[in-house]
Chain A
Amino acid sequence: MNFRHFFLKDPKRMWPEASMLVAPLAVIFILGPDIYPNQSIFMELAVFIMLADALNIVYGYTGYLPFGFGVFFAVGAYGTAILISHASWQVAPAIIAGACLAALLSLLFTPLLRLSGAYFAISSLAAFEAFYLIFSNTQLTSLTGGPYGISFTQVYNANLDYTAAVVLAIASAIVVLVISKSTFGIALQAIREDRFAVELAGVSSLRYRTYAWLISSFISGIAGGLFGWYQGFFYPEAVFNLTEFSVLVIVFVLFGGKGTVFGPVVGTVILFLVYEILSLTFSNSLLIIFGLLLVVLVLFIPNGIEPLLRKAADLLLYPDGRD
């Protein structure tokens, strides 16, 4: 990658889009807990925004769908917990180290990047299951807590964790914005379009996918560390939760619009809140209603809602059309 030409345009020209991302998120996270006094829901929302942005980098931009994506989240959570509970690390370095561990794990998985389509999706799922079995193994109870879970209540600080999660959720959205405005982002999109043609343009698709994979797993690891910290104690099933931290995130990204800057964020905010409301009112039939809703969405808006929102904004701002 030639960093001399990393940005496509002057980075200052990103400010309008950056402020359109930051301002609504700041309003949601600052005012939200006052309107609906349940901080944990907004904490989870921040974590899901991070995961959606992380998945968007690898799936939305390069077209590679890792079904077992949640493994990086879980490893981030466990890495943080182990360093705090066994090595008495401070929270911040422990979270960063946990994320680095997730990124390191993603490097071990790079041979999977030679696969494509369903093979890649399924092999990442197998990796997820393998690591679940390792972390929940009774023989590792002294290190990971095994099936009995791991606790690090000594550093519990919900308010500080919430603030950190909000800042990092916004930061992850900014990372996606920067990628989208860079030659790196263009190359990733080209890989999604035609891997062979990209190679012919002098770009090593494997190397670029590895970069995307590393960034994505690092952000997921951070999200995992923050989530674990907020919980104070968790069982392996809580972080190795395929439905929540893989499938649901994939749905959020698809609904919002994969490969876009705003789509995954908007998709996560809307669908996560719908999910929470449904879980309060229709807890027994939640998954059925949510599943039907998704079928309808995928059938009628396969590219997600971002293009529709963009069109609506254009109509609102330029009723006579753009020049």
Chain B
Amino acid sequence: MEKQAVLEVINFSTGYGPLQIIWDCSLTVNEKETLLLLGSNGSGKTTLLKGIVGYLPAKGGSVRFMGRDITRVAIHAKSRMGITYCSESSIYPMMTVRENLLMSCINNRDSFNERVDHVFEVFPDLKKFDRSRASGLSGGQRKMLVIGRVLMARPRLLLLDEPSSGLSPLFTRKITESLLVLKDMGTPMLISEQNTEFTRIAEKVMVLDHGRVVFSGSESEAERDEAIHSAYFGIG
């Protein structure tokens, strides 16, 4: 049976002001599927995610969520539909860890305590800082809080921007493991990364270069592609 498309990005273009960064980009994330967006620094990964979520205006093309055109829907309305976007700065430094978690489900606090317990089960380190300001957390702990906020939100679609940037291999593994928890819950994900560790959780890989899609295929196809392999999986 064919999987239902959760996110469809069709010939999408966006950028900052008059500067166009993303050119005619198309992608599809199906239900229970993870798409890994690879690309070097400056390739346009973050810009594409910000364009999809509505932080940057569309200069062309469309974005569809569960079949509905959401290209010009307000950001907060997209979030209420179940789309969650997370970047490394997606925390409120001057608020406590618990308040940060609360903000992820502020519109629906049903089973808030159970969800918090679940986050602390996945990230026991965070529990120690429950009532402390997030500004006191280390880089790795902040990333845990970002993922913790995603677990609280229980999104219908997760857009995650470079979850491993600046993290040690140990923390990166911890983050991928926590994303596997989300994957087991059936959450469709679009993850932008430079780290190929994340291919563990992805069914599909897409590569961006200078704002254009230069590769799109399955994870195994990406590994077989010579150019992609040498650029992202190491020369061998």
Contacts and interface: CB of A to CB of B under 8 A. Distances in A.
Interface string B92-117: 11110001001110111100000000
B53 interface: yes
A200 interface: yes
Contacts of A192: 94
Interface stretch (A85-93, A101-109, A181-189, A239-247): A181-189
B79 A186 contact: no
Interface in B67-92: 74-76, 79-80, 84-86, 89-92
B84 to A, nearest CB: 7
A189 B94 CA distance: 9
A5 B92 contact: no
A183 B84 contact: no
B55 interface: yes
B76 A204 contact: yes
Given A193-B95, A194-B92, A197-B92, A186 B103 contact: yes
Contact of B92 (A2, A183, A189, A199): A189
Most buried by A among B74, B91, B103: B103
B147 to A, nearest CB: 15
A193 B93 contact: yes
Interface residues of B, number: 26
Nearest to B102: A186
B55 to A, nearest CB: 6
A303 to B, nearest CB: 10
B106 A187 contact: yes
Contact of B79 (A187, A190, A194, A200): A200
Given A186-B95, A189-B95, A202-B79, A196 B55 contact: yes
A201 interface: yes
A198 interface: yes
A187 B104 CA distance: 10
A155 B153 CA distance: 56
Contacts of A199: 74-76, 79
A278 interface: no
B109 A183 contact: yes
A203 to B, nearest CB: 6
B89 A194 contact: yes
Contacts of B109: 2, 5, 183
A203 B103 CA distance: 9
Contacts of B76: 198-205
B88 to A, nearest CB: 11
Most buried by A among B79, B89, B153: B79
A111 to B, nearest CB: 17
29 contacts: A2-B106, A8-B102, A183-B109, A186-B103, A186-B106, A187-B106, A189-B92, A189-B94, A189-B99, A190-B92, A190-B103, A192-B94, A193-B92, A193-B93, A193-B94, A193-B95, A194-B92, A196-B75, A197-B89, A197-B92, A200-B53, A200-B84, A200-B85, A201-B103, A201-B104, A202-B79, A202-B107, A204-B76, A205-B76
Interface of A: 2, 5, 8, 183, 186-187, 189-190, 192-194, 196-205
Given A183-B102, A197-B90, A201-B103, 6 more contacts: A183-B106, A189-B92, A201-B104, A202-B106, A203-B76, A203-B103
